[in-house]
Amino acid sequence: REALAVTARLCGPELERYGRCVAASPGSWQRDCGGLRDSVSRCASNHPLVRRIGRDCSEALGALERCLRERPGDAAACGATAGDFLRCAETVT
C-alpha cells in the first residue's frame, strides 16, 4: 500500500489521466492510453521505493501486464493477477 500511496502522491495527476483514459476506452485502452501509461511509469521511476518494487516484483508485474494484454476488454478477469502483484508490492514496503 505504501508504494501505491507514494505513486499516487507523487504521480497523482498522471495516474488520474491514465485512469480516465482506461475507463473511457475499455476495448482499446492499450492503444489509446499508451502515452499516459508511459508518463505514469516515468514519474514513478523517479522514486526509489517504486523502483525497488519494479525490480523485486517484476515477475508478478509481467504476469499482470500479460493478462491485461490478453484480455484487453476484460480487465476484471485479471483481478487475481493484480492481487498477486499488490501483495508483492506490500512485502517490498
Q: Return per-residue pLDDT of the chain as tens, 93 residues.
A: 566 676 777 788 888 888 888 888 878 888 899 899 888 888 877 878 778 888 898 899 889 888 888 887 777 888 899 889 888 888 886
Distance CA 4, CA 10 (A): 10
Q: Which three cell numbers stand for residue 11?
A: 504521480
C-alpha cell at 49: 521505493
- Burial of 75 by CB count in 10 Å (0-12 exposed, 13-18 middle, 19+ buried)? middle
C-alpha cell at 62: 509481467
Domain ranges of the chain: 1-92
Quick one: angle between helices 79-92 and 58-70, nearest 10?
160
